[in-house]
Each structure stands twice: as structure tokens, then as C-alpha cells.
Amino acid sequence: MKIVLIVVGVIVLLLAVGFIFATMGLSEIKNMAINEVDLSKISDGVYTGTFQKARWTHNVEVTVKDHKITEIKNTNELPEGNKKLVDGAIEKILQKQSVDIDAVSGATVSTKAFQKAVEDALEEGRKK
């Protein structure tokens, strides 16, 4: 009986730690503002951007030509589900020519994390 209680206690502890890890940074990212970047102030070039908060990490390369975003590459490995999400976000950003896009339904935080990486890259281009 004592062993069963210890095992149950360990399982509950592991579940609690997993829950805390899974939700860490969630509300902070969800509430982050996406800042519009004026593409007319960005020179032609390839710019790198990064966003990292808790379990969300994105590294991107953004190509700008004639003040238009022509290509966005995700440069870190992603699970298959996240790859589809990122591909969808890339398509929306390229179509709208803006990082301020509607989030993928059910993946608001993941979409925002990706948007912030693209925003970071474009901010690098504005500084040049």
C-alpha cells in the first residue's frame, strides 16, 4: 500500500511539473503586441530573426526585395504539426506583406511566436 501511494504521488508530481512547463509563458506570448514594420524603410537583403520564450523557439530568414517580403524560411527543426502552422503563417505574411496576420485557429500562441521572429528579422533590416 505504501508503494502504491509513493507511485501515485510521483505520477501526480510529474503531471504537475508537465502542466507547469506546458503553460509557462503562454499568457505572456498571447498578450504580446505584433508591431507593424514599415517595409518602405527596409533595404533589400536577407535578415535573420529569432523569438524564444519558454518552449516556443523560432529562427527565421526573411528576404526583402524592392520593399516587399519575397521569402521567409524557418531555420529550426519543427514537429510536423508546427511545420504546417508555420507554412500557413508564411503564406499569410507573404500575401498580406505584413506580420500582422490572423492567428491560426487553435494555435494563437504558436502563431504569435512565429510572427515575433519575423518581426525581429524585419527590425534588423530597418536598422541597416
What are the residue ranges in the chain where pLDDT is below 50?
none
| Extended strands (E) in the chain | 45-53, 56-65, 68-74
Q: Can you tell me the distance from the alpha carbon of 84 to that of 95, in angstroms, rounded to the nearest whole number?
A: 17
The pLDDT value recorded for residue 95 is 96
User: In the block, which residue shows the cell 524585419?
Assistant: 122
Domain 26-127 has CATH 3.20.20.100: no
| pTM score | 0.79
Residue boundaries of the structural domains of the chain = 26-127
The pLDDT value recorded for residue 128 is 62
In degrees, rounded to 5, the angle at the alpha carbon of residue 78 between the alpha carbons of residues 74 and 81 is 110
**Residue 65 grid coordinates:** 526585395
